[in-house]
Amino acid sequence: MNQPRAGSSSSSISTASLQLEVAGDAAGAARKAAAFIAERARSGSRQGRRFMLALSGGNTPRRMFRELAEQDMPWGDVHLAQVDERLVPAGPQRNLQMLQEELISRVRLQPEQVHAMPVETDDPVAAARRYGEELRSVSGIPLVLDLVHLGLGADGHTASLVPDDPVLKVQDKDFAVTGPYHGLRRMTLTLPTISRARCILWLVTGASKAAVLERLLRGDRGIPAGRVARGRAFVFADRAALRS
């Protein structure tokens, strides 16, 4: 796998239509990713359209969200959606809480611009269908998100698309509900909906992700992440994640 030059703080590498942006450390990767999102949003705003931004949870993007709150973003044109969410009550297990703490509470977004996944329900399948309808009322039909931010799990999962889950085979829904994963079911974007986004951004940092990042970069379809479309995808990684 290509490696950044020794001593360089960042570099850009093309890996079979997937663009890899390498920063010296996790903080640098977060800054570069936030700046990239802001530029895409400004471009969309200049074209006179809403910017549909779908964000993932986890610990990796926390710094990116704080950096994004400091960017020159046309927040009045942004609609914020979730990539995935655990089916649990409000609290620290929810991706939404971290999004609220690190981003939503720091920027000028009206309540109608924030589309939280409706996971507190007795019928999550129906709720996933309604969530798709809600977002399509903003974006139009079919649902085409302007930018989908993804993370990468050590087992190759992305969003809540985990190995061997039946949701990986869903082709006719924008959102679906998974089976148990680490004891919890989740609501998630489906592979077709992620893949038709105008832009896909991966943020991957840390040496623990090196092996699975190598699989993503070579397009290994044996992991869920490897099945995501690559033609409009960008990976922002730190140098540690590229050590194999």
**Which domains, and CATH codes, for the chain?**
14-227 (3.40.50.1360)
What pLDDT shows up at residue 188? Answer: 98
**Rounded distance, CA 111 to CA 74, Å?**
16
CA angle (104, 131, 135) in 5-degree steps: 70
CB 203 within 8 A of CB 175: no
What pLDDT shows up at residue 244? Answer: 54
The per-residue pLDDT for range 204-229, each reduced to its tens digit, is 999 999 999 999 999 999 999 999 99
CB 154 within 8 A of CB 112: no
Q: Is the pLDDT of residue 19 over 60?
A: yes
What pLDDT shows up at residue 58? Answer: 87
What pLDDT shows up at residue 49? Answer: 87
What pLDDT shows up at residue 218? Answer: 93
Q: Quick one: pLDDT band at residue 8, thresholds 50, 70, 90?
A: very low
What pLDDT shows up at residue 1? Answer: 39
What pLDDT shows up at residue 33? Answer: 98
Quick one: residue 87, left, alpha or beta (phi over 0 = left, psi -120 to 50 = alpha)? beta
Q: Is the peptide bond before 142 cis (omega within 30 degrees of 0)?
A: yes
Q: What is the mean pLDDT of the chain?
A: 93
The per-residue pLDDT for range 105-120, each reduced to its tens digit, is 999 999 999 999 999 9
The per-residue pLDDT for range 38-93, each reduced to its tens digit, is 999 999 998 888 999 999 998 899 999 999 999 999 999 999 999 999 999 999 99
What pLDDT shows up at residue 11? Answer: 60
What pLDDT shows up at residue 17? Answer: 82
State how far the alpha carbon of 167 is from the alpha carbons of 116, 133, 152, 162, 179, in Å. 20, 19, 17, 8, 8
Q: Quick one: pLDDT band at residue 243, thresholds 50, 70, 90?
A: confident
The per-residue pLDDT for range 166-195, each reduced to its tens digit, is 999 999 999 999 999 999 999 999 999 999
Give bridge partners of residue 235 from the DSSP assignment: 20, 202
